[in-house]
Structure 1
């Protein structure tokens, strides 16, 4: 009897202590594809702001290439809803039908089985083939070849403006005809030590977050290699200090060739990557050069309705879409107006992280109350200044929408009655000495009290 009561107490306590777990699902893309199109496997994680550790399977006959991560956050009823999507692309080298059987995707150590599928790849058009080859050759660019096996730390840009993004990649390249038998040696420990050296402290980092080595064939200066990509990230410098990446080394375990019938010996061989440097340039003179975002952006906007009555409300969506440090984007300050009451916007964002860029969108959804009739271009209130590094100039995104307010002016009505009401009226008369109940704290204290009573009860039962 005591054991039964004890088990019930433990189960109740475990149910209280257990934290809500995130919702994880695995989805696959289209199965009818052209050769220039990838088959995509995606891991979708909901209700978690921690980056999951994801490992995608090898699929027979298909080649792993680019991976990407997308984070979507939105505010619904005052609550932030977060969804992360990590995707892996697979390409076929020739036409045909490919079977997927029993592939396992690992998410934080938990295995998810891919459904059995038949993929069909058909010939691509010549234009699409050329576009794909161009993209892959850019991704595989290396300054120089140093033997049949070499380690390289490459950057996409040699100089950037402050807050402009650039990508780095750490890869080991092994020639197709290299006469060597080797394997990675204590890779996790070595890689952690390398990353401590090459991650600059004065940069904002964005990366895909896939903890696995990407292996793929590449052609460098006409020679075929296998690239083992170990790390990739996009950095945004926050200061004018140049970004210096030191020389780094990686030890590999090599199986030496032996005599006929003899035992082959293992040894460690070190491969080194040359140091790299990225210069950081100051932005041109501008009153807001220390605050503006740097990147390539465009404006998308939406007005809930083109006409409202005075005293009524409407919503205005100001969406920034483009390439740059999307998480760091902030809304411009909306000037105070006697014609409208502007409220703080609900903010949402979609961030897409890939090898060489961070792109996406950030939305600012405003709730506005009209106070005076008239026709008002919203460009007077909503504008956003940024610096475009490609054109090396500042630009302003300004609303093209116009709102028409009809009916009797609420301002005029208030003046005629000798009063002008506002949500801030008499704010100085409010009594701030009265504290409001903290219901969350009260609930937490009650639960702790219940748990304490349960523990005391358990001790009392065992002492009897």
Structure 2
């Protein structure tokens, strides 16, 4: 009888614990498993309700080469609660067509061990077989000829940008395939911190993907094959008009040299220096809002929950800005005040994907709009968003194309205003703001914790009895 009671308490306790832990789920997800040679196989780690992006080292897979990594963060508000989802994705490329077995593996994420079962991935021949998916042609300005077998490079994808326009920075060591030397990294972590301290400009916003390991990839530079060891990559957004100067940095490597005698080798430390890089930062053309507007390439998506309402009936309006640029810094649209509407402050959510190539994403502003009078109202009169288009090199405006139709008598909120005003914000100073809202999720969580404690106490009591 005692054993039966203990078993029931244990099962109840386990089910409650699993219900609580399911809210903070961490999973491994695969991308498409039927690919062509020019497409990557994707392995992702998805973390829910985690603010800080963790360090993740993905497995080495036989016959597949690791390539770029990307990080996506999604921030939304659901029932007044902030929901964050982090996704970290690693790319793998195949050298030739065929079936590839992905063996089971384990990843360590935030002190958790995640296990993934084995699976099969199929790579088919691409339409264009002229190139090799494992080799990339890389434009590195440091190499003016092919005399350098080993060199350190700090490179950017742009030499001139506008203020708040993003550019990529990459730090890599290149070693030619036929280089007559053998070398290994020497006190690397200590050196990398010094290099990043010297290279990272203080007047830039940084979107860093995170490089937790040095990944070797095959590249071709001016017709010569190299192995690239990437140590750092990020996108920077200058916040002032000062030019960005990335100074020359040094990386020490442990080089093995053969001596004059047979089978005699000597190891020595040899330094490799990068060339300094300057990125010119340009001010935006004259405009009343040039110090406030976003810079990049953007488009608008919008949606009305209903395009026909009655005066006093609320409607939800979504104004979503998506594109390429510093998504985090996208400001809210400019709203034209009107006596025809009450427009509440928006709920803001965003999705950002960070990679070496770009920072892309979306920032969504959800408004509650309450019309006061009947009529037909083009929302272009009330919502617009100005930005600087880096491709067109001029200012552009995203304007609403939606129209809201309001039918019925004018809406009067006499019960909210002693003076008879019809504004929803009238008489706010008389409202009691000290009353706290009821957080039912918190209450449920507290009750669950209390129940767990009671079950533990009961289990101990039954066991001792």
Q: TM-score, normalised by structure 2?
A: 0.84
2:335 is paired with a residue whose SS is coil
> Take 1:180 and 1:41, find their aligned partners in 2: how far apart are those partners?
35
Corresponding residue to 1:143 among 133, 141, 144: 141
1:22-62 deviations in Å (ceiling 9; x for gaps): 53211111221111111000011111111211111211111
For 1:295 and 1:94, how far apart are their aligned partners in 2? Answer: 38
Match of 1:173 in 2: 174
Deviation at 1:107, TM superposition (A): 2.6
Q: State the 1:333 CA deviation.
A: 3.3
Deviation of 1:260 after TM superposition, in Å, equals 5.9
Decide whether the 8 Å contact of 2:211 with 2:233 is kept in 1.
Answer: no
Determine the C-alpha separation between the residues in 1 that align with 2:101 and 2:401. 51
2:463 alignment partner in structure 1: none
| 403 and 108 in structure 1: CA distance in 2 versus 1, 3 angstrom threshold | same
After superposition, the C-alpha distances for 1:157-212 in whole angstroms (9 at most, x for unaligned) are 10110000000100000101112211111111110110001111000000112311
8 Å contact 1:56–1:106 — kept in the other structure?
A: no
Q: 1: distance between equivalents of 2:259 and 2:30?
A: 46
SS at match of 2:195: helix
Cα root mean square deviation, aligned: 3.0
Structure 1 counterpart of 2:62? 60
Are the aligned partners of 1:233 and 1:356 in contact in 2 as well (CA < 8 Å)?
no
How many angstroms does 1:301 deviate by? 0.7
Shift of 1:430: 5.3
Matches within 5 A, 1:122-271: 122-126=124-128, 136-137=136-137, 140-145=138-143, 147-258=148-259, 262-271=263-272
Contact 2:154 2:172 in 1 (8 A): yes
1:128-176 CA distances to partner (integer Å, 9 max, x unpaired)?
A: 977979x943xx2201325111100000110110000000100000101
Q: Distance in 2 between matches of 1:112 and 1:379?
A: 49
Match of 2:38 among 15, 36, 42: 36
Q: Describe the superposition over 1:35-94 as per-residue Cα deviations: whole angstroms up to 9, x where unpaired.
A: 111100001111111121111121111111121111111110111100010101111111
CA apart distance, 1:259: 5.3
Contact map agreement 2:142 2:153 (CA 8 A) in 1: no
Q: Aligned equivalents of 1:114 and 1:39: distance in 2?
A: 15
Deviations 1:257-287 (A, max 9, x none): 2456544222111111011010110100001
Pairing 1:295–2:296 present: yes
TM-fit CA distance, 1:114 = 3.3
Q: Contact conserved, 2:321 with 2:364, CA < 8 A, in 1? A: yes
Q: Aligned runs of 1:69-108 on 2, under 5 Å?
A: 69-108=71-110
The 3 A distance-change label for structure 1 pair 31 and 259 is farther
Distance across 2 between alignment mates of 1:132 and 1:384: 41
8 Å Cα contact 1:51-1:209 kept in structure 2 = no
Answer yes or no: is the 8 Å Cα contact 1:384–1:397 preserved in 2. yes
Q: Which runs of 5+ in 1 are unaligned?
A: 1-14, 451-464
Determine the C-alpha separation between the residues in 2 that align with 1:102 and 1:376.
58
Unaligned ranges ≥5, structure 2: 1-16, 451-465
Equivalent-residue separation in structure 2 for 1:330 and 1:304 (angstroms) = 23
What is the Cα deviation at residue 21 of structure 1?
9.6
Distance 2:37 2:367 in 1: 44
Q: How many residues align?
A: 421
Q: Secondary structure at the match of 1:54?
A: coil
Aligned equivalent of 2:123, options 121, 124, 139: 121
Compared CA separation, residues 333 and 24, structure 1 to 2 (3 A): same
Moved more, 173-182 or 218-227: 173-182
Quick one: structure 1 residues 300 and 199, their matched pair in 2 at CA, closer, same or farther if it must change by over 3 Å?
same
CA distance in 1, matches of 2:205, 2:94: 35
